[in-house]
Structure 1
């Protein structure tokens, strides 16, 4: 093990962009399928993993929505979430802010309550058992219409105390943020924090819409912002956090060569970039693997790794007291490792 590997493995981490349905490992998929008497179109775990070869976002989403069909009961969502929390505990994640897609479940007859009960029960148990703090962000599926998002928000209001924010995910191209301007305005009026996927496959204009029409508090992905110098300058000036997902970018072919990943440029420019796993079961890595991938490919220094970790804490939706605690843990670790 290299010195950098050891440093990254022990680094206290914060994750801000992870879809809980995307943490469904093939082994658990088969276990839940058996439990719920669901026939999968794959004969084995190995066959599922072979299917995880994507050329674009839609290839992934087709399998992603198929996979979530095994999630039927409160216990299923609990097991899914606890498996993720157990995994990230081993990777020194101190705080996580996870997405869930209620429409992906209600459309197949699984209630909003079933999903959120299982997820939040596991998050609470993981905090007790592992000390990991967490927040839950409900995402609207952008390939559906705004009326469907409005209905989902209506339902979510009954669970308001368990949901920190509202986001926007799924197929980006052809579904600009402006499509959801009204429901985001209502979510903001209800006190939810706002995030949105933009600039992953979609153009820089989608990022501008997320900022100007949705008024997001944090930007998910945002890679293509770098194509617009004016937009990049604005993101730097406003210190708008970007939740970058390196292995996701590579697996979905948004980046075809990790040595050319834009993360290094983001850091050099002063953008508030963070490291995240997106859909770790599908993209081949959780937080540690994502840090290792960019550290190696981009020849990052320990100081640059430290900046990414600090950005994750600063960009989180934790209150100031919580951030102070997280930052103290990180700074203690950095000091022990001779990093300023």
Structure 2
């Protein structure tokens, strides 16, 4: 059953128009919305909801149950979006719903994780040694893990965008100091806009002309990519394996809670620490606003500068 399509059909829309309107959402979003609607209908079993005339009391009681079950504010917002789609009304604009979401954000404030569970420098140092080097003797598995991790960390892109990378012409250009990749034009990004679809992925060479032993070691991070197209789940697994393997081979306990998506936060945060501007960071990560980075991705990386203020205060014990 597809109650949203049935409702639009009852409003006189043709099947062709309905299919076009439904294409505005990704299949996964449709599946999530449909699941929420089924839960809402089950919740309102004694008084089935009317799509043409939403009962705000039912909506609020449904959200209250979710809040009591421990759902986060962001999840409650998704529920409001789903119900808005089926009722064909912007429920979030209703004064009581808006107030409820505001109250939920205060009762259950979002806890932002500002530290990474894994160490970027530790992983990079492991990738320039066995079993990842030399490339000529590295296994296909280790070469794949190394390549996928380096592409993810140097591009700061989402898993879906990594999956959409194509090595076919004209989507890949190999230059002396970089490789420029363009996403498959059939790929639909999370945010559909000319900006998000047109951004190139630039993978720079590292220590192109090494002049010392240390630079020659780091130059080995420029491995070449091989392999077939992989699913997002597979790429995510490879990233987790790459990080875990680097800890294992150095006999260091593997941190818990390693997530593939963390490469975006680690990559952009270290870029900022090394002097990259917010404009450069947002362009690379395809964020239209720096607030996305500051609110959700910026990590508190260790820095001696963080100690300078406290040290200056304590210097009060030193006679002027």
If the length of structure 2 is used for normalisation, what is the TM-score?
0.30
Greater RCO (CA < 8 Å, at least 6 residues apart): 1
Q: Of the two, which has the highest radius of gyration? A: 2
